[in-house]
Structure 1
Amino acid sequence: MSSRAPWRGQLGAVVWLVLIWNLLFGEFTVGNVLGGLAVAALVLVVFPLPAVAFSGRLRPLPLLRFAARFVVDLVSASAQVAWSALRFGREPRSAVIAVPLRVPTDLNLTLTAEALSLVPGSLIVEVDREAGTLYVHVLDVRARADVERARAQVLALEARIVRATGSAEEVRLVQAASTDRGVAR
């Protein structure tokens, strides 16, 4: 990481914070921009951001595939959760499963956990940063096959994220692991 990288990250955070500040007030004025700059400076001094190493690159086509599949997962999971809630006579069973990620970087853990938490029916219970493991609460688990299917879905989500944002080495790592385990793309 170059000596300029942390400065650029801080500048990006300032821009976003000023933008959000102005959106909260509903208009861009000199006073709002200056107030946003003051608040952004205060926030970044009091709550400094940790350095997040990004060694990957954004790949437009895999990013589009990720987004499209994410929308499909949202709609499908919403329908499954609704059906599970409305179905009488059968109480939904849940489980907490451990899913060790293949690319245990902070960024990949965060992106995978956030994307997974946005999908109805799954929730991150805990993250073991040192081991690179997500503990995921999943609904409608009846058998061991359901647990393995849920684990495979988390790993497939991780693979889509890494293909969209990871380094060439991370992509190779995920592809090799997917081939070895037979995890679907």
Structure 2
Amino acid sequence: MTTSRERLEAVGNQIPPLIALIVLWMLLWGEFSWLNLLVGLVVGIVVTVAFYLVPVQLSGRVHPLQTVVFFVRLIVDIVRASVDVSWLAVKPRLVTSNAILEIRLRTRSDLILTWTAVATSIVPGSIVVDIDRESSILYLHVLNMQSASDIEQFRRRVLDTERRIVRGFGSHEDVERMRGVLPANRLSARRSGKELS
């Protein structure tokens, strides 16, 4: 039996999709009017009730500085990857070696898993082809993987993206799970330091 608090949380979890549907409805009509808003609200309620989805648990936590870091780095990654893919397209004697990679994420949040998949897919050169939700594994098709070091570097980039998302939006449990996990550049610096010593 559900308590009143659980029912209230369930209703609260349906509000973000409802608002998104209303905004989408308004964008589809291309103009703001009170009638469009009212019809969008009715359509949104019908859709959220008729096609009820398992509620996504929002963390309720947003760290503004880390959010800015995530978006700035995402834009940099998109620009850099766009240049790399463009060069592959015009490069003479193109010899590519593509790969399907399995990348196990460290968090168990559906929201973080989805955001990581989307953030990885919008960067040119890779696309998510499958997701194992139970194990938090992304399967990605990636362009131009020439060596094991390329594969490891790409894997670290995806895990760094996940880390930045967690630091910006993740729950306290997700942040604790990520503690002690070094970003790729510091990890490689430590490895090279151990090799030198």
Match 1:167 to one of 167, 171, 193: 171
Matching residue of 1:14: 18
Alignment map for 1:45-84 (pairs within 5 Å):
45-55=49-59, 57-84=61-88
Contact 2:13 2:57 in 1 (8 A): no
Matching residue of 1:182: 187
Q: What's the offset of the Cα at 1:36?
A: 1.2
| Secondary structure, aligned partner of 1:137 | strand
Which shifted more, 55-64 or 111-120?
55-64
Which shifted more, 46-55 or 56-65?
46-55
Match 1:98 to one of 92, 99, 102: 102
Alignment map for 1:109-124 (pairs within 5 Å):
109-124=113-128
Instruction: State the identity as a percent.
Output: 40
Matching residue of 1:157: 161
- Total equivalences in the alignment: 183
The one-letter amino acid paired with 2:55 is: A
Q: What's the offset of the Cα at 1:37?
A: 2.0
Contact 1:56 1:168 in 2 (8 A): no
The one-letter amino acid paired with 1:143 is: S
What are structure 1's unaligned runs of at least 5 residues? Answer: none
Which shifted more, 28-37 or 137-146?
28-37
Rounded to whole Å, the distance in 1 between the matches of 2:134 and 2:109 is: 9
Shift in alpha-carbon separation, 1:54–1:18, aligned structure 2, 3 A? closer
Q: How far does the alpha carbon of each residue in 1:13-51 deviate from its partner, in whole angstroms, 9 at most, with x for none? A: 222222221222122223212221221122112211211
Runs of 4+ in structure 1 off by over 4 angstroms are: none
Match 1:143 to one of 144, 147, 151: 147
The one-letter amino acid paired with 1:7 is: V
- RMSD in angstroms over aligned alpha carbons? 2.0
Shift in alpha-carbon separation, 1:63–1:128, aligned structure 2, 3 A? same
Q: How far does the alpha carbon of each residue in 1:63-114 deviate from its partner, in whole angstroms, 9 at most, with x for none? A: 0000110000000000000001110112221101111101122111101001
Matching residue of 1:36: 40
Shift in alpha-carbon separation, 1:141–1:76, aligned structure 2, 3 A? same
Which shifted more, 61-70 or 165-174?
165-174
What are structure 2's unaligned runs of at least 5 residues? Answer: 190-197
